[in-house]
Amino acid sequence: MSLEGVVQRTRRLEATLGARAVVLRLIGENAWLPALLAVFGTCVAALLEREHGGFGAADRTLSGAALGVALPLLAYAWFDAGLGNRSLRDSVAPIARHGADGRVAASGALGALAGLIAVLGALLACAAVLASRRFADPALVRDLWASAWIGAVAGLAYAGWFALASTFGRRGGARKWLLVVDFVLGATNGVLALPWPRGHVRNLLGGAPPLDLAQGIAGLCLLAMTAITLLAALARTER
């Protein structure tokens, strides 16, 4: 095997170690339990919305209980648990102390968290649609697909922001401030809502957009902020 092949294999191993550490912490903290409760709560909220008025029940549940409340709260909780209630740098320090590249290990950790939170967003979105629509509805499959990808992209955007926040403050304490800022500023329609996921997710779901942006641009904004925040988080992590 060439030297380049050895280096690539080593980097893959370091990234795998970072991802494995995150998954083991999440399992140890029983992170699946609040996720299960969130899916159940989303279904209950959807059924109540359906009883209140069938038209728009799915949209109200998606923008409210599912992607407006449960997803950001769970993303915050999973980052706390997955990083061991520490900053991103400190969470991969035990791996780096044994000679691994801390930045590569961090990329594995963030990749695992981002992937899991994206899946969670899709599951919450699907639960909201299934519980608020009738199975005989001819638009059910189409709406499931549309809601699932919106939930996944929303999950990625929240993961990116929580990743960057995890590089600031003691034990990544900026995560909780990000959660508050997204709830407060993301709920507005002005320029202050542009950097945060909430306003763009609301736009994709048919709600009031920040600065009257088109829905297609909202999806691009979420993907762009995901890439920018993840890269910035890694850039702030020591090798």
pLDDT value of residue 2: 63
Do 34 and 172 form a contact (C-beta atoms < 8 A)? Answer: no
- Give yes or no for residue 91 having a pLDDT over 60: yes
- Give yes or no for residue 66 having a pLDDT over 80: yes
Residues 22-62: tens digit of each pLDDT: 999 999 999 999 999 999 999 999 999 888 776 788 889 99
**Domain span holding position 172:** 3-235
- Give yes or no for residue 203 having a pLDDT over 80: yes
pTM: 0.94
**Cα–Cα distances in angstroms (integers) from residue 2 to residues 6, 16, 104, in the given order:** 6, 21, 20
Q: Which amino acid is at 154?
A: A
Q: Which residues are within 8 A (CB) of 195 and not within 5 positions of it... i.e. 6 or more apart?
A: 225
- Total domains present in the chain: 1
Rounded to whole angstroms, the Cα distance separating 131 from 70 reads 16
Residues 162-202: tens digit of each pLDDT: 999 999 998 899 999 999 999 999 999 999 999 999 999 99
Query: pLDDT category, 205, cuts 50, 70, 90?
Result: very high
Residues 103-139: tens digit of each pLDDT: 999 999 999 999 999 999 999 999 999 998 877 777 7
Residues in the chain: 239
Q: 88, 82, 126, 90: which is closest to 230 by C-alpha?
A: 88
